[in-house]
Amino acid sequence: MTDDPCLLSAAEAGRRIAARRLSPVAYVEALLARIAAVEDRVHAYITVLAEPALAAARRAEAEIAAGRWRGPLHGVPFAVKDNYFTAGVRTTAGSRLMLETVPDSTAHIVTRLEAAGAILLGKLNTWEYGTGNGGIYFDLPFEPARNPWDLARFTGGSSTGAGASVAAGIAPFALGSDTGGSIRLPAAACGLAGLKATYGRVSRAGVLPNCWSLDVTGALCWTAEDSALVLNAIAGHDPADPGSAAEPVPDYRAGLHGGVAGLTIGRVAAEGVTTGIDAAAAVLERLGARLVEASLPAPLADYRRAASLINWSESLSIHEQDFRERASLMGQALRDKMTSGSLVRAADYLAAQRLRRQLARGMDAVFGGCDLLLLPGAFGVAPRLDDAAGTMAFTRESAMNVANLSGHPAMSVLTGFDAAGLPLNAQLMGRYFDEATVLRAAAALEAATPHRARRPAL
């Protein structure tokens, strides 16, 4: 076990804090020192909240010393994608249009984490308004985040800084948002655990919207246990989010280490892509899961077309005033998306939504014979940042938006490394509101492989 607090998982840090073996103040100081040492190369943060974080750490330390321990995240820092509103703290959404925006309220799940004793460390880099930039990323106001496994490489998007910060050890966990894979793509590129919960499981209130019917908020973490801890803190109904589901929330840690013996897992092949799925399937089978062949109800191209039409249309409906009045301040990718949205007919949008319902029903039928699906996530390792075609392909040619369209929970998991030491990935996908089984399988994979012990050599 490492002695460097920056390289602890959030769960292990929380255990040490609770046992008085790690001071929250010393923990925050160590993270701030590491940010100062590596941030000029990683570019994960837009805003670092050094003094507020230290003040919160001192409060946490005093509370714990007085016996007022709030739970396993008490004293554990975190950072958030800069599309999360934070009262009194600039929220830019990675855009020139919002460089001076200082909200007067805070996103619901940030307040939930702070109520659990977690400490907000800063705001993280992102694509503009959560819109993919790929190879035309460099026209935004902030330097692009870089992949800690190879600083010349892409982090995945749009939660770019969230992926980079956790992999670099400058945030124990980070909040992102996922419209078409924007939690799971950075997790895949940066070798993390990235969970997109069931649509409606986690509130989006106080997060700049991208696409009403696809957006999901959640965390990028180092381990499945961290993911379970954070989901315990943020899941639940929120009346302020019209899409929020009033479903009971279990304790996600309770059965986390129950293993996969007896589970039936459908292995989904996609266009010849494996990217570590074979290795993951072999481990799961060795651990007692029953692996069966499974198929998606339609080609991936159908998911991509439907997701694009829905995303373009809804994003324009949200940001049309900005597009009409201040398009010159937008980056090219956001302008292109707004233009695409303006060309979509109502009939096409409705057809895409009808197709989406058909695809979701088809996924329900697949789960009739499986507890989980094992399927591709990103179709390769992180490309170089200067490879415009590669970054665009990494973003668009994946199986991530399958779960966005259907609403099922899905998680990107680390399945190993290629010959160059870059992370490989796969997705685990579960039934509606059964994040617990997804997390249990992810935890079993982690426990049976050595991959989580490996860190980028920054």
CA proximity to 172, closest of 219, 117, 126: 219
pLDDT at 246: 97
Residue 286 located in a structural domain: yes
pLDDT at 15: 98
pLDDT at 276: 83
Q: What number of other Cβ atoms are within 10 A of residue 116's Cβ?
A: 18
pLDDT at 178: 98
pLDDT at 270: 75
Please report which confidence band the pLDDT of residue 376 belongs to, taking 50, 70 and 90 as the band edges. very high
pLDDT at 137: 55
pLDDT at 136: 52
Q: What average pLDDT does the segment 79-108 reach?
A: 98
Is residue 363 pLDDT above 60, yes or no? yes
Number of domains in the chain: 1
Give the pLDDT confidence of 24-65 residue by residue, as tens digits: 999 999 999 999 999 999 999 999 999 999 999 999 999 999
* CATH number of the structural domain spanning residue 412: 3.90.1300.10
CA proximity to 162, closest of 137, 188, 139, 180: 188
Residue 251 located in a structural domain: yes
Please report which confidence band the pLDDT of residue 133 belongs to, taking 50, 70 and 90 as the band edges. low
Of these residues, 9, 23, 81, 244, which one is catalytic?
81
C-alpha–C-alpha distance, residues 287 and 290, integer Å: 9
pLDDT at 101: 98
Q: What average pLDDT does the segment 117-139 reach?
A: 85
pLDDT at 112: 98
Is residue 134 pLDDT above 60, yes or no? no
pLDDT at 218: 98
Give the pLDDT confidence of 141-168 residue by residue, as tens digits: 999 999 999 999 999 999 999 999 999 9
C-alpha–C-alpha distance, residues 405 and 392, integer Å: 20
Give the pLDDT confidence of 198-234 residue by residue, as tens digits: 999 999 999 999 999 999 999 999 999 999 999 999 9
Give the pLDDT confidence of 262-280 residue by residue, as tens digits: 999 999 987 767 678 999 9
Domain that holds residue 171: 7-301+352-453
Query: Cα 181 vs. chain centroid, distance in angstroms?
Result: 8
Structure tokens at 261: 């013996």
Question: For this structure, is 158 an active site residue?
Answer: yes
The residues that bridge with 412 in the sheet, in sequence order, are 194, 427
C-alpha–C-alpha distance, residues 301 and 316, integer Å: 23
C-alpha–C-alpha distance, residues 216 and 349, integer Å: 20
Residue 320 located in a structural domain: no
Q: What percent of the chain has pLDDT over 90?
A: 95
Is pLDDT larger for residue 272 or for residue 387?
Answer: 387
Question: For this structure, is 337 an active site residue?
Answer: no
C-alpha–C-alpha distance, residues 443 and 193, integer Å: 10
Of these residues, 9, 23, 95, 158, which one is catalytic?
158
Of these residues, 177, 182, 315, 406, which one is catalytic?
182
Q: What average pLDDT does the segment 188-194 reach?
A: 98
pLDDT at 135: 52
- Do 163 and 145 form a contact (C-beta atoms < 8 A)? yes
